Amino acid sequence: MRLAELSRRSKIPTATIKYYLREGLLPPGRRVTATQAEYDDAHLQRLRLVRALIQVGGVPVASAREVLTALEDDSLDHNSRLGTAVWALPHGPEPSGDEVFQERAGRTVDALLARLGWDSAREYAAESPAHRMLVTAVAALARLGYPCAVEDLAPYARAGHQLAVTDLDLIERYDSADEQLEAAVALTVLYEPVLLALRRIAQAQESHRRYGQRSTEE
């Protein structure tokens, strides 16, 4: 297909595709004339992944290029490629700089992962943006005096594990490895507001169950 057809099928403007080509996010097409090239379904699939990273995930172009380079590394297994794609996504605020609370939170998170038996999470803790984000969040809770001991966090972790099972079940609906990588990025980003909304609706429902009936009776 020519560039115009690639743009139509991907729903991405030709100017944006040309930018991705210049930045090395999309491999060049097969040259047919001095000014024209042919593209195939592999380019279309790559464009969808680039869109998932940059437009949906908010990943900077330089980081997206690194991710795509890693994804093409044949030495990486499928698990590593999925991790590389998801770890590239924005992961919340950086540590506040309060080292005392950060260190305490780090110990709490390590104890939580040990209790859950999440050995692989502990193994890659130093490299994991999600681990750093969790430590920062726990440090903020502790600094403000809210419950954040291991026993407080464990129910959330168990709920998170069930969500992860659901996530991977959704991703496995896609056949190819590239489609699964795209889905891992897009679904991680797009389902986070769904989870937030459902949590708040559930809180309202549970609040009504606990306290609403009492108010009516009074």
Q: pLDDT exceeding 70 applies to what percent of the chain?
A: 96
Domain boundary among 61, 76, 91: 76
Q: Count up the domains in the chain and report the number.
A: 2
- Do residues 198 and 114 share a domain? yes
Calpha distance 56→12 (Å, rounded)? 13
- Do residues 142 and 189 share a domain? yes
Q: Tell me if 91 is assigned to some domain.
A: no
- Do residues 112 and 168 share a domain? yes
- Do residues 13 and 49 share a domain? yes
Identify the CA nearest to 156 among candidates 197, 189, 193, 109: 109
For 54, the domain range is 3-76
The confidence score (pLDDT) of residue 108 equals 97
Q: Tell me if 31 is assigned to some domain.
A: yes
Q: Give per-residue pLDDT as tens, 115-138.
A: 999 999 898 888 888 999 999 999
pLDDT band at 185 (very low <50, low <70, confident <90, very high): confident
Q: Enter the tokens of residue 172.
A: 């496995």
Q: Tell me if 35 is assigned to some domain.
A: yes
In contact, 64 and 182? CB cutoff 8 Å: no
- Do residues 17 and 71 share a domain? yes
Q: Give per-residue pLDDT as tens, 66-112.
A: 888 877 777 888 888 888 888 877 777 777 668 899 999 999 999 99
Please state the φ and ψ torsions of residue 37, each to the nearest 5 degrees: -140, 160
> Residue 32: CB partners within 8 Å, gap ≥ 6?
38
Q: pLDDT exceeding 90 applies to what percent of the chain?
A: 51
- Do residues 153 and 105 share a domain? yes
- Mean of pLDDT over the chain: 88
The confidence score (pLDDT) of residue 86 equals 83
- Do residues 138 and 193 share a domain? yes
Check pLDDT > 90 for residue 54. Answer: no
Check pLDDT > 80 for residue 59. Answer: yes
Calpha distance 38→3 (Å, rounded)? 7
CATH code, domain carrying 19: 1.10.1660.10
Q: Tell me if 177 is assigned to some domain.
A: yes
The confidence score (pLDDT) of residue 201 equals 98
> How confident is the model over 182-205, as a mean pLDDT?
90
- Do residues 66 and 142 share a domain? no
Check pLDDT > 80 for residue 141. Answer: yes
